[in-house]
Amino acid sequence: MGDLDFRGRQMPAWFPDAKFGVFVHWGAYSVPAWAEPTGELGAVDPEVWFAHNPYAEWYWNTSQIEGSPAHEHHRTVHGGLPYDTFLDAWKAELFDPAEWIDVFARAGARYVVVTTKHHDGIALWDAPGTGTRNTVRRGPHRDLVADLAAAVRARGLRFGVYYSGGLDWHAGRRAVIRHEDLIDECRPHDAAYAAYALRQVRDLIDRYRPDVLWNDIGWPDAGMADLPDLFAHYYATVPDGVVNDRWDGAHADYLTSEYQANRQNETAAHWEQCRGIGLSFGYNRNEGPEHLLDPAGAVRQLVDVASRGGNLLLNVGPKADGTLPGEQRTVLEGIASWMAGHGGAVYATRPLGPGAAPSDGAPWIRWTRDDRHAFAFLADVPDSARDQVVLKTRPGLLDPATAVRLDDLPVRADAVPDGILATSVALGTPLPTVLRFALL
């Protein structure tokens, strides 16, 4: 492998073992905190998406689109004021990074990735070249990246940085109205912006030594030649760091998917699915319980992703005052109580592979494995099953006699022609029950 050819690079074990990360999207957009809860990326007609964007962190863009509800909202509620007004209105007066990370750590997150500069071009540290367009010089008057990095590492978690390399609405481009705009028309590709972005990412690497370098949208054409050296510098600075795949094909330690978009990436050797607890990454005041995952849904999202060999990067959108929205905190607390008793069937596991059948219907079934055990996750066992579930497994894969429920309730498992008949109490909850079997 040449010193600038990273294709053969070994994936550091910490990343696939981690399984669960928390994403944080926090910015000036958290002040208006307004979007239409239209639907999930990949499930909404691209022709509808941009004018009715459910991503509240896209507020600047959506509010520029004439005729959009966001444009009307910005005019009537915020008097059409310049977007940077929200930076000065963003006080983060109740921000307690240690409290956030305590919630994330108890939920079982092993890494945290935070926005350092989103598409609005406002930096959450005193980024070079931003002048006063950052949270140190205005608004919160804090280096939020440093505060979060310190709190994350104090809890023994890994710290990652999100950087919007491909879109920067301060770099003088018009609003994205159609999907094809994202390729060229609305993205800065010039040498000046490329140098600006490169300088900022190098600064992030040198100051915070992030364990994850999470770029978004892509990288400016004029800067593509800079990337091999940038990655070499990153790996020299953070030898077990990992880089995502949103660098316009320059390099990737792992592939990503987002809500229902690019699910084909979830067949890669290493991959990560990112999504919000609701339909937005930035806090959206218009989201109600009907738009959010509930605790059982979030746990099943994590288990499904882990059972297929991926990581889930689940996003929290804090309020402008620095508090975590109550409904999002409730979901994290629900994950925490389940992970407390079942995390051992998730962390550092791998897919069980052929020979055991998952199911999407009722009952909902997923499998993972470690070196010595197979773990079956069961949920939504229908009443008609009377707490009995046939786990379709090939003969000789695992030993039914070794069945144990991770919540210590009784379980009975017997070999039957097409697998294992599990008979137990309370199998039918929406939160997965986990059975452990010794592998043969």
Please give the residue ranges that form the binding site for ligand ZX8 (CB under 6 A).
Answer: 55, 57-58, 216-217, 246, 256-258, 261-262, 265, 274, 281
* CB 348 to ligand ZX8: min, Å: 26
322 SS3 class: coil
Neighbouring residues of 405: CB distance < 8 A, sequence distance ≥ 6? 411, 424, 433, 434, 435, 436
* CB 290 to ligand ZX8: min, Å: 22
Nearer to ligand ZX8, 262 or 301 (CB): 262
210 DSSP assignment: -
Taking the C-alpha atoms of residue 134 and residue 374, their distance in angstroms, rounded to an integer, is 49
Q: Which two tokens stand for residue 202?
A: 């190098």
What pairing do the DSSP bridges indicate for beta strands 373-379 and 364-369? antiparallel
Nearer to ligand ZX8, 257 or 328 (CB): 257
* CB 20 to ligand ZX8: min, Å: 16
Strand partners, 117: 123, 163
Nearer to ligand ZX8, 310 or 428 (CB): 310
* CB 23 to ligand ZX8: min, Å: 7
Nearer to ligand ZX8, 217 or 357 (CB): 217
Q: Are the CB atoms for 335 and 295 separated by under 8 Å?
A: yes
- The 3-state secondary structure of 101-144 reads HHHHHHHCCCEEEEEEECCCCCECCCCCCCCCCECCCCCCCCCH
From the CB of residue 203, how many other CB atoms can be counted at a distance below 10 Å?
Answer: 17
Nearer to ligand ZX8, 60 or 100 (CB): 60
Nearer to ligand ZX8, 10 or 264 (CB): 264
Nearer to ligand ZX8, 163 or 377 (CB): 163
Nearer to ligand ZX8, 60 or 208 (CB): 60
Indicate the residue whose CB is closest to ligand ZX8: 262
Residue from 395, 386, 437, 384 nearest 413 by CA = 437
Q: Are the CB atoms for 178 and 50 separated by under 8 Å?
A: yes
Alpha-carbon Rg for the chain in angstroms: 23
Q: Are the CB atoms for 88 and 139 separated by under 8 Å?
A: yes
* Residue reference for tokens 């070079």: 128
* CB 112 to ligand ZX8: min, Å: 14
* CB 265 to ligand ZX8: min, Å: 6
Residue type for position 291: H
Burial class of residue 399, CB neighbours in 10 A (0-12, 13-18, 19+): middle
* CB 257 to ligand ZX8: min, Å: 5
DSSP code per residue over 54-115: --GGGHHHHTTSTT-HHHHHHHHHHTT--TTHHHHH---TT--HHHHHHHHHHHT-SEEEEE
Nearer to ligand ZX8, 282 or 432 (CB): 282
Q: Are the CB atoms for 132 and 138 separated by under 8 Å?
A: yes
Q: Which two tokens stand for residue 173?
A: 């481009």
Nearer to ligand ZX8, 170 or 369 (CB): 170
Nearer to ligand ZX8, 145 or 296 (CB): 145
* CB 174 to ligand ZX8: min, Å: 16
* CB 274 to ligand ZX8: min, Å: 5
